[in-house]
């Protein structure tokens, strides 16, 4: 029987159908993995940048990037 990652569902199936093979649904495995990766990513970002990741902080603003075409022209190379 395919179920989601819930201890309640697993125990209910084990109680009602003790000889049934229980497997976890692929969708819920991927969903759980994505949630855990996001948690680690947020924690790592907060530790590295010493902030909580609020919108509007200075590190959220885009940095000015050099225009490669303009820098080539200013070097005298056409």
Nearest one of 1, 3, 5 to 36, comparing CA atoms: 5
Model confidence band, residue 30 (pLDDT cutoffs 50, 70, 90): very high
pLDDT at 62: 65
Mean pLDDT comparison of 18-22, 63-67, 74-78, highest-scoring range: 18-22
> Is the residue at 16 inside a domain?
yes
Range of the domain at 40: 1-49
> Is the residue at 19 inside a domain?
yes
* Res 46 pLDDT > 90: no
> Is the residue at 4 inside a domain?
yes
Q: Tell me how far apart the alpha carbons of residues 29 and 9 are, in angstroms, rounded to a whole number.
A: 15
> Is the residue at 28 inside a domain?
yes
* Res 20 pLDDT > 80: yes
Q: Are 20 and 13 in contact (CB under 8 A)?
A: yes
* Res 76 pLDDT > 70: no
> Is the residue at 66 inside a domain?
no
How many structural domains does the chain have?
Answer: 1
The pTM assigned to this predicted structure is 0.49
């Amino acid at each position: 029987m395919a179920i989601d990652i819930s201890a309640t569902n697993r125990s209910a199936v084990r109680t009602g159908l003790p000889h049934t093979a229980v497997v976890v649904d692929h969708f819920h495995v991927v969903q759980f993995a994505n949630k855990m990766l996001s948690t680690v990513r947020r924690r790592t970002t907060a530790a590295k940048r010493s902030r909580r990741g609020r919108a509007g902080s200075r590190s959220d603003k885009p940095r000015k990037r050099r225009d490669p075409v303009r820098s080539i022209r200013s070097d005298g190379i056409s």
